[in-house]
Amino acid sequence: MNICIKNGRLVDPKNGIDAQLDLFIADGRIAAVGQAPAGFTADKTIEADGAVVCPGLIDLSVRLPSLESELAAAIAGGVTTVVCPPDTKPVLDEPGLVERLIQRAEALGLARVLPLGALTRNLEGQSLASMAGLASAGCVAFSQADRPVTDLQSLYRAMQYAATYDFTVWLRPQDYQLARDGVAHDGEVAARLGLAGIPVAAETVAIATLVELAKATGVRLHLMRISSAAGVAMVRDAQAKGARVTCDVAVHHLHLSEEDIGYFNALARFDPPLRAVSDRAALRFGLAEGTVGAVCSDHTPTAEDGKLLPFGEADAGNPGLTLLLPLVLAWAEEAGLSLNTALARVTSNAAAIIGRDDLGHLAPGAVADVCVFDPAASWTITPEAFSSVGRNSPLAGRTMKGRVLAVVAGGRPL
Amino acid sequence: MAELSVNAHMNPQLGANGKLQHLLSTEGLPLEVITHILDTAQSFLEVSDRDVKKVPLLRGKSVFNLFFENSTRTRTTFEIAAKRLSADVINLDVSRSSTAKGETLLDTIDNLCAMHADMFVVRHATSGAPFLIAEHLQRIGRDDIRVVNAGDGRHAHPTQGLLDMYTIRHYKKDFSQLTVAIVGDILHSRVARSDLHALKTLGCGEIRAIAPKTLLPGYLENLGVKVFHDMNEGLKDCDVVIMLRLQNERMNGALLPSVGEYFKRYGLTPEKLALAKPDAIVMHPGPMNRGVEIDSSVADGPQAVILNQVTFGIAVRMAVMGILAGN
């Protein structure tokens, strides 16, 4: 199908474009920018007057309890690629399971699913999963999701094996022993409310360990959902010294802090926990300067019952796919960043972390994933209207700017 | 990002009219409310000395004691207080019945609402549980039911905090001139947190916390508390010493090496008490561990007001329930 997206403000961070240009799509790929290719006839024209036309968003952390609802939520949020951690049921440690997940997602024709394969079998942290086979099946990297590898020798071997094939390992920087029993940032709010704390040291100790193991094994390391100022500083330092390490942050950590727990608001329970206001400032700065390469939604739909419990017993996380774009735009506006800089964190930078140069940009030949949004349109967050099976958000009732008007995913208009 | 802040999640214990709707914590409790509770308790104190120890304030009302965590002592004091106000008291040992069968906390509450409860007295092992109940009652349109927090996790034990304030006021009058030391396992103590907030609101001159670092939450200084690790320094010139109970299970982990070492460093002995002002009072929320946090000669000595705390506690709980029922 030939599609023309007309009169929009084309923002393509990877290629440094921010200009009013038409976009031409043919056979699932970007065909041309600006001038129509010779003999191009559009089967469909999308009028993008006053709207921004950018690469479809890439979300690096999305849980998929139900494929159809969550991938619909992705499209509603302008997200065309979701990275799914391997702690699905069953765990993604068999190539057949990965192939089936990808096929089921493709059959829906919504957002693309790029699975992370299990680093160890059943995520138990003992024996290695069949990484090469999982990669052939479509896994873009290997991860333990939120499960620890308690035996560092096993982790060392797993990293060595991954490095053999130049696979990237994506790990949560959280020492499970220091975080044990904790439910909130070990700070002033936890002290006040009598909540068991997760100290910043749980993150920094883990980063130190993981970075050292990555250096020793030569593996590429991606740290998932960093949460503290000290953590950002350590990653900055490691990158400056040439370590092959990247990291991302969850978008709610750019906007919320421990203070938003108020009096035990279970909707403000996240993993990692919302930390101090100073941590939030460092995460925002780290994302702007590029130490933190990407921002994800950490989309975690929970059943409503999971939040109707005392704070310490409630499920962590909230659905976030629908809020990723407006929350990134809000951060960019407050930080005084260009659209190019801001959108790079959910497009080209994210594609680089995954290792896919055909995604996350709009040069001819790239996969035709496009998001068209009105940057000025404001709307009120109503979790009841989320396509996701998760219907809660600590930001319910807030007014956000940035409304998705149209999405093209793999050349299909949605 | 101020405009995105979620802080609308406020303490639900005060109604829109500023009146006390539930008693969930001493934090955020206005000075007038605390003073009103303490004054009311004073008037109830003499009820307990009468031959007929009853006033009809809660006649026809049903008070449900909901103890998700066992505590015979606290439950009994609430029961006595409610009965002296002529309420019908129903004791539910939920720690053994419904939750053991898998019922959720809020399902239990819905069931009890259907039994026409007027007040829930809630003890729960998880911090914040009574807040969840209060918010749920609001959500289901039962804001006629009152909730009294009888201790939630490490968070709060507001009636204990208030009876401690009553005790201090009884013996010491002017809070602004006082130095109050809280000694022991502050990290795990809901009593300590309730005392801290109430003392701050009452304008206490100096609040001290004395404990090893393993038993102190971080950021206590930010709550207006002076932290000491050496008891001899911390007790110096104190007017009030509040000793906390040290739970036996704290000895199993890596928090403390032994009872002996703890008692040596942080147990209240006559020698250490001598560093406080000569007229200092010694308080303890009970039950005491003699020889662990307090020496018997201090516990039974002339400066201890521990049993008076228990007596005042009934009056304070009567006051809280009476005021809640009237609002």
Q: Give the closest-approach CA distance of A347 to chain B in angstroms.
A: 24
Cβ-based contacts of B4 with chain A (< 8 Å)? 255-256, 330, 395, 398
Q: Note whether B149 and B182 are same-domain residues.
A: no
Q: Note whether B124 and B181 are same-domain residues.
A: no
Q: What is the CA radius of gyration of chain A?
A: 21
Q: Does A298 qualify as catalytic in the annotation? A: yes
Assigned domain for B263 exists: yes
Q: Is B170 exposed, middle or buried (0-12, 13-18, 19+ CB in 10 A)?
A: middle
Q: Note whether B140 and B250 are same-domain residues.
A: no
Assigned domain for B171 exists: yes
Q: Note whether B44 and B120 are same-domain residues.
A: yes
Q: Note whether B148 and B85 are same-domain residues.
A: yes
Assigned domain for B104 exists: yes
Determine which helix (DSSP H) or strand (DSSP E) holds B239, and give its type and residue range.
none
What pLDDT sits at residue B96? 65
Assigned domain for B4 exists: no
pLDDT (tens, 9 = 90+) of chain B, 327 residues, equals: 444 444 445 678 998 888 899 999 999 999 999 999 999 999 999 887 888 888 999 999 999 999 998 888 899 999 999 999 999 999 987 776 656 667 888 999 999 999 999 999 999 999 999 999 999 999 999 989 999 999 999 999 999 999 999 999 999 989 999 999 999 999 999 999 999 999 999 999 999 999 999 999 988 998 899 999 999 999 999 999 999 999 877 777 788 888 999 999 999 999 999 999 999 999 999 999 999 999 999 999 999 999 999 999 999 999 999 999 998
What pLDDT sits at residue B306? 97
Asked if A193 and B6 come within 8 Å (Cβ–Cβ), the reply is no
- Nearest Cβ partner of B128 from A187, A191, A193? A193
What pLDDT sits at residue A124? 96
Q: Note whether B148 and B178 are same-domain residues.
A: no
Q: Note whether B107 and B193 are same-domain residues.
A: no
Assigned domain for B230 exists: yes
Q: Is A241 exposed, middle or buried (0-12, 13-18, 19+ CB in 10 A)?
A: exposed
- Whether B136 and chain A come into contact, CB under 8 Å, resolves to yes
Q: Is B102 exposed, middle or buried (0-12, 13-18, 19+ CB in 10 A)?
A: exposed
Cβ-based contacts of B11 with chain A (< 8 Å)? 263
Q: What ipTM describes this predicted complex?
A: 0.90
What pLDDT sits at residue B235? 98
What pLDDT sits at residue B6? 46
Q: What is the DSSP letter of A267?
A: G
- Mind listing the pLDDT tens digit for each residue in A213-259? 999 999 999 999 999 999 999 999 999 999 999 999 999 999 999 99
Cα–Cα distance for residue pair A353/A305, rounded to 1 Å: 35
- Mind listing the pLDDT tens digit for each residue in A279-320? 999 999 999 999 999 999 999 998 888 899 999 999 999 999
What pLDDT sits at residue B97? 63
Cβ-based contacts of B128 with chain A (< 8 Å)? 193, 195, 263-264, 310-312
Q: Note whether B282 and B247 are same-domain residues.
A: yes
Cβ-based contacts of A259 with chain B (< 8 Å)? 5, 7
Assigned domain for B276 exists: yes
Q: Note whether B114 and B165 are same-domain residues.
A: no
pTM: 0.93
Minimum CA–CA partner of A399 in chain B: B4
Q: Note whether B58 and B133 are same-domain residues.
A: yes
The neighbour count for residue B144, using CB atoms within 10 Å, is: 11
Mean per-residue pLDDT, A40-51: 96
Q: Which of A298, A305, A315, A357 is flagged as catalytic?
A: A298
Q: Note whether B260 and B191 are same-domain residues.
A: yes
- Mind listing the pLDDT tens digit for each residue in A55-68? 999 999 999 999 99
Q: Note whether B230 and B137 are same-domain residues.
A: no
Assigned domain for B17 exists: no
Enclosing domain of residue B39: 31-157+311-326
What pLDDT sits at residue A358? 98
Q: Which residue has the tokens 């997940």?
A: A101
Contact of A62 with A250, CB cutoff 8 Å = no
Asked if A310 and B126 come within 8 Å (Cβ–Cβ), the reply is yes
Q: Give me the sheet containing B179-183, strands edge to edge.
A: B226-228, B206-210, B179-183, B240-243, B281-283
- Mind listing the pLDDT tens digit for each residue in A348-383? 999 999 999 999 999 999 999 999 999 999 999 998
Instruction: Tell me which of A254, A264, A305 to substitute to probe the interface with B (most B C-beta atoms closer than 10 Å).
Output: A264
Mean per-residue pLDDT, A46-52: 97
Assigned domain for B16 exists: no
Bridge partners (DSSP) listed for residue A199: none
Give the CA distances from residue A285 to residues A278, A337, B182, B267, in Å, rounded to whole numbers and listed in that order: 11, 11, 41, 48
Kindly state the tokens that stand for B120.
């829930």
Contact of A137 with A95, CB cutoff 8 Å = yes
What pLDDT sits at residue B72? 86
What pLDDT sits at residue A229? 98
Q: Give the closest-approach CA distance of A281 to chain B in angstroms.
A: 10
CATH number, position B188: 3.40.50.1370
Q: Give the closest-approach CA distance of A209 to chain B in angstroms.
A: 23
Contact of A258 with A189, CB cutoff 8 Å = yes
Cβ-based contacts of A394 with chain B (< 8 Å)? 6
Minimum CA–CA partner of B189 in chain A: A194
Count of domains for chain B = 2
